[in-house]
Structure 1
Amino acid sequence: MRILLVMGAGGEGGAETFFTQLALALHRAGVETQAVIGPNEQRFSTLRSNGIETLVLPFRQILDFKTKPGLKARIKQYHPDVVLTFMNRASKLCPKGDFLHVARLGGYYKLKNYKNCDHLIGNTKDIVRYLDQAGWPEGRAHHVPNFASVDRDALPVSRAELDTPEDVPLIVSLGRLHENKAFDILLQAAKLENRPYIWIAGEGPLRVELEQMARDLDVAHRVRFLGWRNDRGALLATADFCVFPSRFEPFGSVMIEAWAMKCPLITTRTAGPLEIATADKDALMVPVDDAEAMAVAMTRVIDEKGLAEGLVKAGWDSYEKAYTEEACVQNYIDLFTRLLAEREQVFR
């Protein structure tokens, strides 16, 4: 089986990270894999240094005369069995051809960009339900969850290097600095529960606003904005617990990364966490936009004897059951194998 993975987004985020990790995981599993990506030097270097032939194309929004013919030429040259596209632009620009075109969706996207696809993959059951309800053809939407793409052997980050005392509770929170991730609620909760230090790893349009908010709430001395980080495993290995405060979250890769790193988890009652987690078992779950409830949950993890240990044990069990790299890759291989066989029957 030959698979070509395609993603036009050049930035950093959850989908971009998973694209890279899935390409590497398929390659490690012995699947013949190539990639086509938008400009991103680090992603290109990571893929190429791990033996994945990678083509960079512009994927610009306007006046782009290179991407579509370049992608078509690479497909003709590589002759893949499956082209797996990520996000809108790559899916829209992918030409039709003698291959199975599957797009992977990590959100509730408009289907106009996916009309040329043969099948769609949603990383939650709720996304698959959305696709069915939006009119996508029956039997052509499939559920394959993500895996936790963290280095489980990572050593903890030095607290001293980030001006954080060794004897204080430490929260790590990861995600794009965007309204949907609700870091404003985390900062408000830190005002109410004033013991933890907080490391926020991520970048985005709200950084300046959030830094100012931390100063206004008088919590800036306990908050560290780390920017985009690729050492999420090491950060979670350092944390006493992880807080995932999103107000909108289709999946929630941070959750399964916390479970994989045996880090107690607090999250919100959004679509992804409600589907994946079990409240008060593998995560404490609080209402969206409720800083007071989040602060109470933080206090519970710090003070309630045995709670953190119980969350870690149940979280690890949830991770091992469904979110390991091996399980995810096998799910993709099994799905592609079945769909290719069905396609061959149709064209006989």
Structure 2
Amino acid sequence: MPEIPEIPEILDPGELPIPTPPIGPLRVAHVMAGAPAGGAELFFERLCIAQAANGLDVLSVIRRDPDRLARLTAGGLTPRELRFGGQADLLTRPRLNAALRKFEPSVVVAWMNRAARFASTGPWTLAGRLGGFYDLSYYRRCTHLIGNTHGLVSWMTRQGWPAEQVHYVPNFATDIGQVAPKRPREIPDGVPFVLALGRLHTNKAFDVLIRAIARVPGVHLMIAGEGPERENLEALARTERVRDRVHMPGWTDPASLIRACDLFVCPSRHEPLGNVVIEGFSAVRPVVAAASQGPRELILHGRNGLLAPVDDDRALAAVMQMVLADHALAHRLAVAGRATYERSFGPKPVLAAWAEFLQRVAPRGA
């Protein structure tokens, strides 16, 4: 197998401390002005619902989106919808400020650039939550920044933010370890299949994965997602003569698919975190990934998954074959991944980390 690029020393995710402070009377407002779908947007929903269920008083402020409104409402919240438009939107900022002053939060969390641009300062602590390497000028009103990877936290401090005002707080994924597997009808019985999830975009490197699957005979690949690269990927599958082994059904129920697959792959060129890797851990499936920013933090090569160099279809095919040919290895990686999930990326440890963060940064006397 080709040599994996050097991976910086980080804490084993299983060795991260799990703080468990009481939440107390804190009130938190989460402000999300993102797209209808996306990893950060879906985690925002999960976090708001879980914190409220855990006894925290939560206000969720969202960009107008009937589906998100319905999911948050079903989760027991009463979201506030605002426009969050462009430069001509003169009403969202005062309406947001009024909603916050009425709610009286201890901490306001602005999720990504647009929310941070509209968020107001006040008698609360304003924190910006980043899931990528964004332009920090959007967060100039924030006192604290949150990164969901160690790499992001290091990058933010290198940009000049004081280390004591930058915080690592990870994401959690829904526990799908008990979901019933559902084998896709497109995959013949008795044939191993590899699964990948995500938007069909060049960053996700599904082209590399299709070239890799061409080097793994007898194995089928399913890429569940939609996006602008569909036509190019379909053409590539024909060129690589694997059209009959590559299936792209669009967005579909991911949990049952992950549970059913023989191998879960994240081939991304750019992946600040890699929520899909955590989902693979949760589902007790062996995970292989390209060594982009997020996966190389989550995966300890040879222990809870395997890594291949970015943009290297030969190396990716080699590690895929390694797992598919060795059931003992696949089982060991899957069990270790599940242990990583339970210790560091399940709801309980992540909610505890968020509670500790809120207690730390809330105004005195909150």
Q: Does the pair score TM above 0.5?
A: yes
Residue 173, structure 1, aligned to residue 200, structure 2:
no
Letter matched to residue 210 of structure 1: L
Query: Given that residues 9 and 59 in structure 1 are in contact (C-alpha distance below 8 angstroms), is that contact kept between their aligned partners in structure 2?
Result: no
Letter matched to residue 222 of structure 1: R
Among 39, 52, 70, which residue is 1:45 paired with? 70
1:185 aligns with 208
Letter matched to residue 28 of structure 2: I
Residue 70, structure 1, aligned to residue 103, structure 2:
no
Deviations 1:41-81 (A, max 9, x none): 22111001111111222222342233222211211221111
1:147 aligns with 172
Q: Which runs of 5+ in 2 are unaligned?
A: 1-25
Query: Given that residues 103 and 119 in structure 1 are in contact (C-alpha distance below 8 angstroms), is that contact kept between their aligned partners in structure 2?
Result: yes
1:293 aligns with 315
Distance 1:150 1:313, change over 3 A: closer
Deviation at 1:284, TM superposition (A): 1.1
2:82 aligns with 57
Looking at structure 2, the residues matched to 211 and 201 of structure 1 have their Cα atoms a distance apart, in angstroms, of 13
Letter matched to residue 138 of structure 1: A
Among 256, 268, 276, which residue is 2:290 paired with? 268
Letter matched to residue 306 of structure 1: A
TM alignment of 1:104-183, pairs within 5 A: 104-160=129-185, 163-183=186-206
2:53 aligns with 28
* Of 150-159 and 190-199, the range deviating more from structure 2: 150-159
SS at the partner of 2:128?
A: strand
SS at the partner of 2:249?
A: strand
Question: TM-score under structure 1 normalisation?
Answer: 0.93
* Of 167-176 and 196-205, the range deviating more from structure 2: 196-205
Query: Given that residues 301 and 308 in structure 1 are in contact (C-alpha distance below 8 angstroms), is that contact kept between their aligned partners in structure 2?
Result: yes
Letter matched to residue 210 of structure 2: L
Deviations 1:201-222 (A, max 9, x none): 2222222222222223222222
SS at the partner of 1:46?
A: helix
Looking at structure 2, the residues matched to 202 and 66 of structure 1 have their Cα atoms a distance apart, in angstroms, of 35
Higher RCO (CA 8 Å, separation ≥ 6 residues): 2
Deviations 1:86-143 (A, max 9, x none): 1100011101111111111111111100001111111111111111110113310001
TM alignment of 1:220-299, pairs within 5 A: 220-229=243-252, 231-299=253-321
Looking at structure 2, the residues matched to 234 and 305 of structure 1 have their Cα atoms a distance apart, in angstroms, of 21
Identity of aligned residues (%): 36
SS at the partner of 1:139?
A: helix
SS at the partner of 2:320?
A: helix
- Give the number of equivalent residue pairs: 341
Query: Given that residues 18 and 149 in structure 1 are in contact (C-alpha distance below 8 angstroms), is that contact kept between their aligned partners in structure 2?
Result: no
SS at the partner of 1:242?
A: strand
Deviation at 1:245, TM superposition (A): 0.2
SS at the partner of 2:55?
A: coil
Question: TM-score under structure 2 normalisation?
Answer: 0.89
Deviations 1:160-199 (A, max 9, x none): 2xx2112111111112222111111001111111322222
Looking at structure 2, the residues matched to 259 and 73 of structure 1 have their Cα atoms a distance apart, in angstroms, of 42
Distance 1:148 1:200, change over 3 A: same
Looking at structure 2, the residues matched to 97 and 292 of structure 1 have their Cα atoms a distance apart, in angstroms, of 54
Q: Which runs of 5+ in 1 are unaligned?
A: none
